[in-house]
Structure 1
């Protein structure tokens, strides 16, 4: 999208943890998900503290988990450990003035346990953003629709609901209201 992440990483404004290469092993080489998630949480916490110590202007920090399924893979399918970890990350939103953004692909979750996790995330979220294909099918000038749901509190009533359609372009995305394209 035109943002050079290497420059941000060199300026210590971006910290990247590759969840695909994450293995939660204890001293014996056996898998220990609980300790692994606590180590991951501590790495995130140290990164936030490092950013806040250099940036005294009181700005907000954003934690982005790009694809929830990577956490499930690291946890070997343990939804309990993933939910515990996400709850710890959620606590940072008030303690450290952070935003927590979680990307999820609903189409890859098929088990009942995974669907329960998704409903729990929907419940604790302040804002839901869903990008979907058009309900009417494929169109040449519209690639999908986006719904933004803003709640008055986590688990609360819907405060605002916005619907947009979008078209993916070579260097970005164009958003517009439904029916405004001909």
Structure 2
């Protein structure tokens, strides 16, 4: 996890918030560093994590996590991490044997081989993975999804994706008092109308939005982008105005540094 980001969010693995839906959004840049941050953060916090990884392989996430001081392999072995490798699941659905499901192996992405874009199997996988069990001592439950647009690319409709997120919020945030963190790509100038519909809808239901954007001036060696932190105070009783903070950042090998706009050490 990135200590400076924790400071900006007033967050600590010793006291993780509960019942929150966080949207990670990126435009003209790669916001995956936010996914790695939250994955390592919640594992350090001792939470049980269901990671629906649709974009990269397990080895990719594990290599990055090791740089941040966390072993995904060890987390899986002790039952703290349930990892769905979307790439492998898609190949199994397209080229695997149908007997796998009959043998007791779940097929959460089976919608890609069906005529409807029903994500019920994926929701059942999430719910089962995070369901409390006898002797379970995990202090919290977390669903992490990277990234949502892949479901649309695989054939799921925007309505099915939004329904899936809604049921996950109810099951994880409301019933289990856990957290849901979702990465979605897209910007105001995107031509993907379905993706923009999903992202815009999620913005209205998020407790916290972290929006990574590329610089309008283009590439810079010392400033890689800017991060908008939007706290949805309007969702709370009283209807206060949302709180917006904007920082610029630089991604390093094992860390990300943040600074106010125009105050990069390279500029000063």
TM-score calculated relative to the size of structure 2: 0.58
Distance 1:77 1:157 in 2: 35
Who is 1:86 aligned against?
Answer: 165
Q: Deviations over 1:157-179 (max 9, x none)?
A: 54321111111111221122223
**Partner SS, residue 128 of structure 2:** helix
Which of 91, 112, 116 in structure 1 is aligned with 2:193?
Answer: 112
Deviations 1:74-114 (A, max 9, x none): 4x141111111111011121111111111011169633233
User: 2:128 maps to what in 1?
Assistant: 46
Distance 2:223 2:231 in 1: 24
How many residue pairs get matched? 175
Q: 1:52 to 1:40 in 2, by over 3 A?
A: farther
**Higher relative contact order (Cα pairs below 8 Å, separated by 6+ residues):** 2
Counterpart position of 2:30: none
Task: Name the counterpart of 1:174.
Answer: 257
Q: Is the 8 A contact 1:19 1:71 kept in 2?
A: no
Gaps of 5+ in 1: none
Q: 2:180 aligns with which of 94, 97, 100?
A: 100
- C-alpha separation in 1, matches of 2:196 and 2:243: 25
Distance in 2 (CA, whole Å) between partners of 1:137 and 1:109 is: 17
Gap regions ≥5 residues in structure 2: 1-66, 91-108
Residue by residue over 1:10-58, the C-alpha shift from the partner in whole angstroms, topping out at 9 and shown as x without a partner, is 11111111233244259xx744432xx21211111111114785116xx
1: CA distance between counterparts of 2:244 and 2:234? 14
2:28 is aligned to none
Partner Cα separation in structure 1 for residue 78 and residue 141 of structure 2: 15
Matches within 5 A, 1:100-179: 100-106=180-186, 110-154=191-235, 158-179=241-262
How far off its partner does 1:134 sit?
1.5
Does residue 73 of the first structure (1) align with residue 153 of the second (2)?
yes
1: distance between equivalents of 2:234 and 2:128? 28
Tell me if structure 2 keeps the 8 A contact 1:69–1:104.
yes
* Contact in 2 for aligned 1:149/1:161 (Cα 8 Å): yes
Runs of 4+ in 1 over 6 A off after TM superposition: none
Matched residue SS, 2:122: helix
- For 2:126 and 2:156, the matched residues in 1 are separated by 22
